[in-house]
Chain A
Amino acid sequence: MTRRQSLPYVFLVPTILVLMTLAFVPLGYAINISLQDKTLISPNSSYIWFENYVDLFSDRRFKNALWISLKWELITVPATMIAALGLGVMMFELLSPRQRNLLCLVFLVPVLLPRVCAAFVWKFAFHPLYGIVTYPYRLITGDTLDLLSDPAMALYAVAFVDLWQWGFFFAVIFLKLLESLPPQPLEAARLDYAKTWQIHAYISLPMLKAPIVSLALVKAIESLRSFDLVYIMTRGGPGITTETLDMYAFSQGFIEAGKISYASSMAVIMMLLTIVIFTFIWKKARI
C-alpha cells in the first residue's frame, strides 16, 4: 500500500520542481532587470526602481503596441473560430469518411509548417510585382497592389496568414468533435424535418459548447505568439501599424536601443496582463 501511495510523489515532484525552476527563475529575473537601467551596450547598471514602468505609461509606441495586440486578438480569434466552425460543419455534412480523412490531412499542413516558412510563403505571394496572389489584380487593373506596405491593410494581411495556419487546423478538430457526438439527437431532429443549419445551431453546437470555449481560449493564447509572422512579413511596419507588444519589446531590447531593462518592464506587464486575464477567463469558463 505504501508503495502505491509513493508513485504520485515520485512521478510529480521532480517534474514540478524542474518546471518551477525553469519558469520562476526567469520571471524573478525579469522583474529584477526591469527595476534597473541595464542596456546591452554598457555593463554597468543601477536600480532605478519603477522609472521604466512610469516611462511606459507615457510611451505612445507602447500604447500603440497594446492596441495593435488587442486588435490582433480581436481579429484572429473570432476569424479562426468562425472559419473552423463553418468548415467543420461543411465537412461533416458533405463528405464521405474517406474524403474527410483526405481533407483532414490537407488541412493539417499549414499548422505544421514552421511559422517562419508560412510567413515567407505568403510574403512571396503578396509581393506587389511578382506575387501570385497579387497577379490577378495586376492583370485586371494594370496597377500594383502592395498589401504589406499599406498601413490600413498590413495587419489584416498578416492576420490572414494566421487564419490560414489555424483556421484549417481547428476545422479538423471541430470535425472530430462533431464525429464524437452521439448520433441519436441529430437523427431525431432530422426525422422532425429540421434543416441542417438548425440541427447544428440548436443541437450540435450547444452540445459542444465547453470544448468550443476551450478552443477559443487556446487560440487566444496562441495568438499572442504572433511574433514570427510579424517579424518576417512586416517587422512591425509600415511605420508602427503592425507592431505588436512582443515585436515592440524585441525592437526596444535588441534592434534599436538595446534597452534590455525597458524591454523587460514591458515583458513583465505583458506577463501580468496575460496571466491575470487568462487565469480569470479559464477558471470562469470551466465552471
Chain B
Amino acid sequence: MTLARFIGKSFLALMAFIVLFPIIWTLLNAFKENVDILTRTPKLFFSPITDNILYVLGRASVLDALINSLIICGISVAIGVVFGLPAAYAVARYPNRWTGEVQFFVLSLRFLPPVAVAIPLMVIWLNLGLYDTRIAMVATYSLLTISITIWLAVPAFQQVPKAIEEAARVDGYGPYAVFAKIALPVAMKTLLGAVAFSFVLIWNEFLIALMLTTSDAKTLPIVASEMSQLGLDVPWGILNAAVILLSIPPLLLLGLLSGFMNSMFTNKSR
C-alpha cells in the first residue's frame, strides 16, 4: 500500500512537472540570446540578457495593443457586470417559468461558434464604418461577458443564505435594497471570481479579435502572434518574451480564481 501511495504521489509530482516545465522553459528562453536557444542540446545554463523583454516592451505596436486590450477588456467586463449581475440575481431569487428558459438561452449563446459571430459582425461593422474600432470590439465582447457573468453569478447568488435576505426584508428593506446592500456584499467574494473569469476569457480571446481588427484596435494576443513573422528568421527569444508578458495578467488572478472555484464547488449550502 505504501509503495502504491509512493508511486501515486510520484505520478502527481510528474504531472505538476509537465504543467510547469514548459512554461519555465519558455521563461528561460525569454532571457536567452538566439544562439543559446538554437542549440541541438538544450542549454540550462546561459548568460541571461534582457534584450528580448525590452524589445517587446519598447515596440510601439505592443504599447498600443496593451492600451487597446486594457480598454476593451475593462469596458466589456464592466458592461458584463452591469447587465449580468442583476439578471443573475433575478434568475437566482425570483424563479418562475421564464427564468429556466433565460438560463438556457444564456448558456446556448456559448454554443455559437465564434466564426459564425465574427464573419457577419465584420460585415456589419464595415457597413457602419466601425470596423477595427474599440467600440466595435467592446460591443462584440459584451455578448461574451454578459453571458458568462450571468452563468457564473447565478450559483453565487443562490449560495447567499435566504435567511439573511428575509431578515433584511423584515427590517424594512425593499427588494432593490436587499439586492444592493445584502446580496451583493455577501456574495462579493464569489462574484469577484466570476468577474475575474470573464476578464481572463476576454484577455485571452483570439479568433474574434483576429477577424475584427487590422491595425487600430488590435489586442495583445494578435500582436503577440504576429511576432513570429518578424523578418526572415523566427526571433525565438522575442517570441518567448512576448508569450511570457502576455501570460502575466491572467496568472496574477490565479489566487482569486482558485478561491472562486472553492466557493463554487465545495460550499453547496443553498
Contact = CB atoms under 8 A, between A and B. Distances in A.
Interface residues of A, number: 89
A32 B246 CA distance: 37
A90 B12 contact: yes
A228 B205 CA distance: 9
Contacts of B116: 26-27, 30, 267-268, 270-271
Interface stretch (A70-78, A151-159, A186-194, A272-280): A272-280
B200 interface: yes
Interface string B210-248: 110000000001001100100000001001100100110
B45 interface: no
Interface string A34-77: 00001000000000000000000000000000000000000000
A138 interface: yes
Contacts of B117: 23, 26-27
Choose among B21, B94, B147, B264 the residue with the greatest number of A CB atoms under 10 Å from its CB. Answer: B94
Nearest to B38: A130
Contacts of A26: 116-117, 120-121, 124
Interface string A97-136: 0000101111111101111110011101100011010010
Interface stretch (B50-58, B59-67, B184-192, B254-262): B254-262
A116 B124 contact: no
Contact of A29 (B91, B94, B124, B243): B124
B83 to A, nearest CB: 4
B12 A95 contact: yes
Given A103-B16, A121-B26, 17 more contacts: A7-B175, A8-B96, A11-B90, A26-B120, A26-B121, A33-B119, A33-B120, A105-B254, A114-B247, A121-B25, A138-B40, A180-B268, A231-B206, A260-B119, A267-B120, A275-B112, A278-B111
Interface of B: 5, 8-9, 11-12, 15-16, 18-23, 25-26, 29, 37-42, 83-84, 86-87, 89-91, 94, 96, 98-99, 102, 104-117, 119-124, 139-140, 142-143, 146-147, 150, 174-176, 179, 200, 203-204, 206-207, 210-211, 221, 224-225, 228, 236, 239-240, 243, 246-247, 250-251, 253-255, 257-258, 261-262, 264-268
20 contacts: A12-B87, A14-B83, A19-B109, A105-B255, A107-B16, A110-B19, A116-B224, A117-B246, A121-B26, A125-B22, A176-B262, A176-B265, A176-B266, A221-B110, A225-B114, A228-B207, A246-B115, A249-B115, A267-B116, A275-B111
Interface of A: 3-4, 7-8, 10-12, 14-16, 18-19, 22-23, 25-30, 32-33, 38, 87, 90-91, 93-95, 101, 103-110, 112-117, 120-122, 124-125, 129-130, 132, 135, 138-139, 164, 168, 172-173, 176-177, 179-180, 221, 224-225, 227-228, 231-232, 245-246, 249-250, 253-254, 260, 263-264, 266-268, 270-271, 274-275, 278-279, 282
